[in-house]
Structure 1
Amino acid sequence: MTDTSSTRPAGGEARAPRRSPLHRLMRYLPLIAPVLLWTVPCWVLLYTGQHWPLPVTLAGTVLLAACLVCMPLAMARGHGRRRQDRAAILGDTLLGTGWVLFTWSVLLGVLLRLALTVAGVGGSQDRARVVTWAVLGVSAALLAWGYAEARRVPRVRRLDVELPRLGAGLDGLRVVLITDTHYGPLDRARWSARVCERVNTLEADLVCHTGDIADGTAGQRRAQAAPLGTVRATRARVYVTGNHEYYSEAQGWVDLMDELGWEPLRNRHLLLERGGDTLVVAGVDDVTAESSGLAGHRAHLAGALDGADPGLPVLLLAHQPKFVDRAAAAGIDLQLSGHTHGGQIWPFHHLVRLDQPALAGLSRHGARTLLYTSRGTGFWGPPFRVFASSEITLLVLRSSHPSTSS
């Protein structure tokens, strides 16, 4: 499902984006998710034939019930009007822990129990206790590994991308993509500096940030974002807004990125020239911008391309992969996006695929348009990445007819 060769009809740019199945589901998640995330593990770990001593059963039940109550309360205080970072850290950590426990309680509660029964291992109580310890062991291991994965500096993913319309003079152009840094309640200023140091080792011609810089306002997260000002590129550093900017005073982030030396491509483009050939580098606001009510913010592809020679190749920055429908209709050569995090914590990627046409990597849409979707450089909310590693991406653009000297 990540490599779709056809696209849905492009809608008018003035219309608000149509609500996807995931968006409709998300309206009910705050009500049902906490109950499912904690009652299912409670049932599987304590009440499916284990016959634990009463104090163990009571202690486990109280602990999981406390998580059920604390998680939504902490998230509301952390991400609501009060924006209390400590509460956000607690709520986000419980959310990730609950998701992992829920997932493996379901999988091992069914599959492992079935395998043990078929193999004739022990009695029903023995099998139930094996399942409990397996769920706890696997969950603890994945959470520890996922935390380390989320907090490390991402590995560099390098790939060559051939663009048939790219002139020979631009063959070998080095484009670095970072996205979804999500600076937030956990102070990651040192991590941010190390990410920027790694980007600088790649000797990029163009560095792109496709949004979701942070969770919080520019004033709140300035120290974490400040290292972005040290990023080097021989040609340009460009940025477009993500949906999370519109939860946190988006114009403040646009202004800060401008101050740090990045060029915000808000429905506009610049020309990158080398060796007698030209590439149009365009950007659009996130598709949620118009519904934010912030004056002047909306995703407007026609405005981004206004004045550009239609015969030139176009590299488009758009935060969400779903914008590729409009990009393909306009004949864009390559769109760079983030937003999906590759699912971040398996198997959440199945829900992401309900909302987006691609999860990660390079995919083709229509006759000309390529889409590269990054798994993201940071993480949102729960400080875990499970089977969805972060990345800094180096895309080397290739011409179909490179010059002999390049």
Structure 2
Amino acid sequence: MPIPPRLLIFFGVLSLLVVSSHIYLYRRLVRDTSRHLLWRRVGLVLWSVLGATLVTARPLSALLPSGVTAVLSQFSWYWMGVATYLLLTVMTVGGVRGIADWIARRRAAPAAVPAPVSEERRELLARAGAGVALAATGGFSGYGMWRAFHPPVVNEVAVKLPGLPRALDGFTIVQLSDIHVGPLIQRRFMDELVARTNALKGDLVCITGDLVDGSVEELGPAAAALRELRSRHGTFFCTGNHEYLSGDLEWCEALPRMGVTVLRNRYVRVGDAGASFDLVGVDDWAAARSGFAQRQYDLTAATAGRDPSRASVLLAHQPAGWREQAQKAGMGLQLSGHTHGGQFFPFTRVVAAVWEHDAGFFREGDHSLYVSRGTGFWGPPLRVAAPPEIVKVTLLAG
């Protein structure tokens, strides 16, 4: 399958950022902290290897044995997390030093000539700054990794759903999203997640996309834990953008064998003849831009033939179409994910600035939206100021 141009551009930009950031870190943490030639040579080799690991881990996965690539991939994700916080803290320390120097110069007498700073003092200050940065990085990344692998928090929300029959008042949906089964999230994580989900005793379980980061062949055994999910009305799934990179057709064939009903631009009736509501599922909002125009978000097709007066819940991976599509189609509640709530600070603030509906519960008139921060994580195993979550939604009759 050809690689989409957008993905090539993304990896090209990412590679440029990786190389430039590792050069910067080498200068601040190695070159500036000592003039010793051996120290600088060892540091140059180390930072070159670390940078190359991030750039080459994915391409090498197609050439090396699976056992080797698994270790390389895991190491690269861990190092990406540490390197991100290391870069941020080193830049912050450098910025604080620059501001302090500027204030000192402003306070000096106008005619005074600043005394030259000795090389020994420069190295001392550089070492002190490096120590502070390393300590802060250890704190942030250590906590973030612990939080990423720690059991997700359970957030409960009650939603008034227009048209919901009184007999279904109190119906519960347990939402899982953005689990990202892959190099770091494996069967043990999934077994614990399934056990915690079952303990909530939901009437229905839904997975709103980005379940996997890899093929059925390599991740099927870990994802098979989903067979043990228990609820009165079953488990339902809609695709996320990562499914397209992992083989969406293959996964949508495999998931029903694991007891998961796949909703690709269609709806099902949940309940019985006496009381029911419509559960609608759509493909990912960005599928067309990713080169999958034949398998893209189509709410019109998903709701064809349904009675618009009936209560409805929409499963859509991204919250992007809530106002433009879901509200106009009369969807009472949309459950989404995708944003991860930014996953870790300071990207939590970036996502909040970019996405109008970044995480949590939103309501406009009779229409509600819940955006999950995700149950797992993607990329660096970090969760800082955006803990993973399982969402328990209680539907209330209007």
1:62 paired residue number: 45
1:101 paired residue number: 86
2:75 paired residue number: 90
Aligned partner letter, 1:99: T
Match of 2:61 among 57, 78, 92: 78
Match of 2:204 among 206, 210, 233: 206
Match of 2:305 among 304, 307, 310: 307
Match of 1:137 among 135, 138, 146: 135
Partners of 1:164 and 1:79 in 2: CA distance: 50
Trace 1:208-287 onto structure 2 (pairs within 5 A).
208-273=206-271, 276-287=274-285
Q: Percent identity?
A: 32
1:177 paired residue number: 175
Structure 1 residues 37 and 343: CA distance shift in structure 2, 3 A = farther
Structure 1 residues 363 and 81: CA distance shift in structure 2, 3 A = farther
**Per-residue deviation at 1:106?**
1.7
Structure 1 residues 192 and 132: CA distance shift in structure 2, 3 A = same
Structure 1 residues 52 and 234: CA distance shift in structure 2, 3 A = farther
1:382 paired residue number: 380
Match of 2:151 among 134, 153, 157: 153
Structure 1 residues 74 and 326: CA distance shift in structure 2, 3 A = same
**Per-residue deviation at 1:237?**
1.3
SS for the counterpart of 2:295 is: coil
Partners of 1:112 and 1:387 in 2: CA distance: 27
Per chain length, whose mean CA-contact separation is higher, i.e. which structure has more relative contact order (CA < 8 Å, sep 6+)? 1
Structure 1 residues 399 and 92: CA distance shift in structure 2, 3 A = same
Aligned partner letter, 2:49: A
2:26 paired residue number: 42
SS for the counterpart of 1:287 is: coil
1:360 paired residue number: 359
Structure 1 residues 159 and 77: CA distance shift in structure 2, 3 A = same
Partners of 1:136 and 1:389 in 2: CA distance: 23
Q: How many pairs does the alignment contain?
A: 377
TM-score normalised over the length of structure 1 = 0.82
SS for the counterpart of 1:329 is: coil
SS for the counterpart of 2:225 is: helix
Structure 1 residues 205 and 96: CA distance shift in structure 2, 3 A = same
SS for the counterpart of 2:327 is: helix
Contact map agreement 2:178 2:375 (CA 8 A) in 1:
yes
Partners of 1:246 and 1:23 in 2: CA distance: 12
1:16 paired residue number: none
Aligned partner letter, 1:93: Y
**Per-residue deviation at 1:79?**
7.6
Partners of 1:53 and 1:222 in 2: CA distance: 51
Partners of 1:304 and 1:193 in 2: CA distance: 32
Contact map agreement 1:23 1:355 (CA 8 A) in 2:
no
Partners of 1:212 and 1:333 in 2: CA distance: 23
Structure 1 residues 187 and 157: CA distance shift in structure 2, 3 A = closer
Contact map agreement 1:113 1:128 (CA 8 A) in 2:
no
Contact map agreement 2:341 2:352 (CA 8 A) in 1:
no
Contact map agreement 1:170 1:274 (CA 8 A) in 2:
no
Partners of 1:296 and 1:73 in 2: CA distance: 31
Partners of 1:263 and 1:312 in 2: CA distance: 21
Aligned partner letter, 2:169: D
SS for the counterpart of 1:395 is: strand
Partners of 2:80 and 2:305 in 1: CA distance: 47
1:5 paired residue number: none
Aligned partner letter, 2:94: G
**Per-residue deviation at 1:67?**
1.6
Contact map agreement 1:210 1:338 (CA 8 A) in 2:
yes
Partners of 2:273 and 2:391 in 1: CA distance: 24
Contact map agreement 1:113 1:127 (CA 8 A) in 2:
no
Structure 1 residues 285 and 79: CA distance shift in structure 2, 3 A = farther
Structure 1 position 195 matched with structure 2 position 193 = yes
Partners of 1:394 and 1:109 in 2: CA distance: 44
**Per-residue deviation at 1:63?**
2.0
Listed as ranges, the gaps of 5+ residues in structure 2 are 108-120
Contact map agreement 1:152 1:191 (CA 8 A) in 2:
no
Partners of 1:33 and 1:79 in 2: CA distance: 23
Structure 1 residues 229 and 295: CA distance shift in structure 2, 3 A = farther
**Per-residue deviation at 1:111?**
3.0
**Per-residue deviation at 1:382?**
1.9
Contact map agreement 2:361 2:369 (CA 8 A) in 1:
yes
**Per-residue deviation at 1:126?**
4.4
Contact map agreement 1:179 1:212 (CA 8 A) in 2:
yes
Give me the CA root mean square deviation. 3.1
TM-score normalised over the length of structure 2 = 0.84
